[in-house]
Structure 1
Amino acid sequence: MVEISLSFAVVGEPQAGSGVKIDDGAKVWELKEAIADKLPKRIKCAAVDLQLFLAKTSKKEPKEEEEAKSDGREEWLTQLDARQGVSGTSGYKLLLNTDEVLRDVGLRSGGLGEVGPAERAAGKGPVHILVEVPGSCAWKLADAKCPLLAFDPKSPIIRIPKAYAEGSGLYVGEDGVVLYLRKDVQEEWTALWKSVVQSYATLWIVGPPGTGKSCAAFAFACSLRRVGGGEQWKVVWIHCSKRSRLLSCILFSGDDEKRTCTFKRSLLEDVLKSLNDYTVVFIDGYVKDRDERKVMWPCRQWRKKEKERRRIVVVSSMVSMGKDWRPDLYRDIPSIAPSSLESSVVIASAPESNTMQEEQLFTMFSWTLEDYQEALKNDELFEHVKNN
Structure 2
Amino acid sequence: MVKLSCAIAGLARSVFSVKIDTDKSVAHLKDAIKATNPTMIRCDATHLQLFLAKESGAWLDEAGAAAVTLDEHGHPLAFEKMMLSLWLKYFGEKFQPEDGQVHVLVVVPNKRRCLKPVEDVENFPQIDIRVRMHELWAFLRNEVIVKNARGFILGPSGTGKSVSTLSFAASLDHHEWNVVWIHLCEEWSSYFLSTGINLFWKFAIGDEVKLPRVLDKKLFICVDEYDYNFKSFLSSIYAQLREDDRLVICSSMSALGHRSLEADRRVNLQVFLIYSWTQDEYLAAIADQVFYSKVMDFFDATNAFEVNDEGGDDVELSDDDTKKLALALKFYYAGGSCRFMFQYPTEDVKPFWKERFTLLRAKPTWSHIAMVLGTLIQSTGSMECKLTVHAVDDSL
The TM-score normalised by the length of structure 2 is: 0.46
More strand by share: 1
Provide the TM-score with structure 1 as the length reference.
0.47
The higher-RCO structure (CA 8 Å, 6+ apart) is 1
